Structure 1
């Protein structure tokens, strides 16, 4: 399995956002510390997901960064991504592992120790844990779990825990202190006036 970067950038394909320009700004700085999770809207076609993921794979390969595809594992396979990420409403973890194969990176969303342990047992390479804080990026999310919730999951599993949900550079030190291996962000980079500078601030916190 490829080594896992600590900064996970989830593509923001909402109207007015340009995920590829954000990625181009962040990649030269983050390089191997960056994992790009290609996530598209539910209304996007597989062709649209494929086209974006293919371009992300090409860009990340130039810097040794990792590309994963959220939810649509067939797209991950089609573009040669390093793996994928599944949530509660996607394929079961064991089935996702079967689709991707034994050596691919497989991220799984979890928010409490019980389901986290089940996910790891079924084949998860890492866990995306949250939402840590309030966020407007995605609707219909459960209540935020805070650093205490992250720490509870960290203590229950032996795979990297990636904190997600409302994460800002200011929150990174506390999340790292709670045991998070890294963080996943959307708005902290896609909405930044200077994505490269925002990434540098996040990476500083992650290096502590």
Structure 2
């Protein structure tokens, strides 16, 4: 319990809360815009998601974001905050930005959503991308996970206590009974001193 409480306190008062702003965009092929969408076109659009993710995380997109917002951080640092994933293996991709400042995370994602479509269409002639939902901020920090950290700390504490108990048992060389003496020293038992309870003597 003590270790679990320590994990809880560290998560709440020591670790820096990280917020996330996320947006979604849909990937289309050129053919999607003109006719009924076929399975091949859907597959092609899904394959484009990976390509678009690389472009969104490239310096062609993020460097203009840094300049526009006048961010005091390098491309190498910013790209670690940006993630792009497809949503349930569909044409939709989710762009997320994490930062200790919630408003900053949203501002960065706003600029990415603004800059990315033009650069994507300029780089990949096979398709296009449109915004489905604009960046929104998570109401609660996405990390640290207080419940998870507390549970892990509690589990580690229990395992540590169990390990200490096992080690103490293995290193305990004291005799607990006459049987222990016979087994370990191979000596016969000549007699046993009985234990007696101490009695108080009342003086007259």
Which bin holds the TM-score, normalised by the shorter protein? under 0.3
Which of structures 1 and 2 has the bigger CA Rg? 2
Taking structure 1 as the reference length, the TM-score comes to 0.20
Taking structure 2 as the reference length, the TM-score comes to 0.20
